[in-house]
Amino acid sequence: MAAVIAILLAAGESRRMGQLKALLPWQGTSLLKHQVTSLRAGGVDRVVVVLGHRSDELKAELAGIEGVAWQLNPDYLQGKTTSIKAGLSSLGSEQLDALLILNVDQPRNADVIRSLLKEHQSQGSLITIPTHKVESVWHPIILSRSLLDELREIDEETYVYKSCGAAPSGCHPPGGNGSPGSALGLEHPRRVPACPGRSAADGNLSE
């Protein structure tokens, strides 16, 4: 049976945050564990976490979590696309229905993931992204398996969206104009304590 696989990007240094974002406390656990748990609970069959900076610490966070594996990206300093490619390299020849890509610093709850996957599968879209108040959010992005070959050719110039050559299909997660959990943003550590998502919702911890 074809599977839904997620690539969770967690290789970065978190320079602007000043501390490793994957290990930030989030809803009673670490941000990394929150992400993999939400992805699995939201309907993802397998999660591949791409690691780089301080990888040994993050491997320990993932130990024993069913359906979750890690892939090391030694070239993570060369850009995010190297982590996407590293994640893709771990897929092998397994049957794949859809691929979801998400950054570790963009917390999403299981309901948002589940809604996006349902929309993607029901519409038969090439690309599905969340929207919030009619604007595209882009995180996470779900891609059809037919785009995997193009995805393997991306670089820092083209990145994901241009390389796919397909218009995205927007999806409204639960909550009318999209769930706030698909759009909240945090770009600096001073905003972390004030973010509702830190204790009850979701947010975005940009590097």
Q: What pLDDT does residue 30 have?
A: 96
Domain range for 11: 3-198
127-167: per-residue pLDDT in tens?
A: 998 887 655 566 899 999 999 998 998 888 766 444 444 44
* Encoded amino acid at 23, one letter: L
156-199: per-residue pLDDT in tens?
A: 876 644 444 444 444 434 333 455 454 444 444 544 443 333 33
Contact 119/26 with Cβ under 8 angstroms? no
The CATH number assigned to the domain holding 92 equals: 3.90.550.10
Q: Is residue 85 part of a domain?
A: yes
Query: Domains in the chain: how many in total?
Result: 1
Contact 36/64 with Cβ under 8 angstroms? no
pTM here is: 0.80
Q: CA Rg, the chain, in Å?
A: 16
For all residues of the chain together, what is the average pLDDT? 79
Q: Is residue 204 part of a domain?
A: no
Q: Is residue 205 part of a domain?
A: no
Q: Is residue 97 part of a domain?
A: yes
Q: Is residue 206 part of a domain?
A: no
Q: Is residue 13 part of a domain?
A: yes
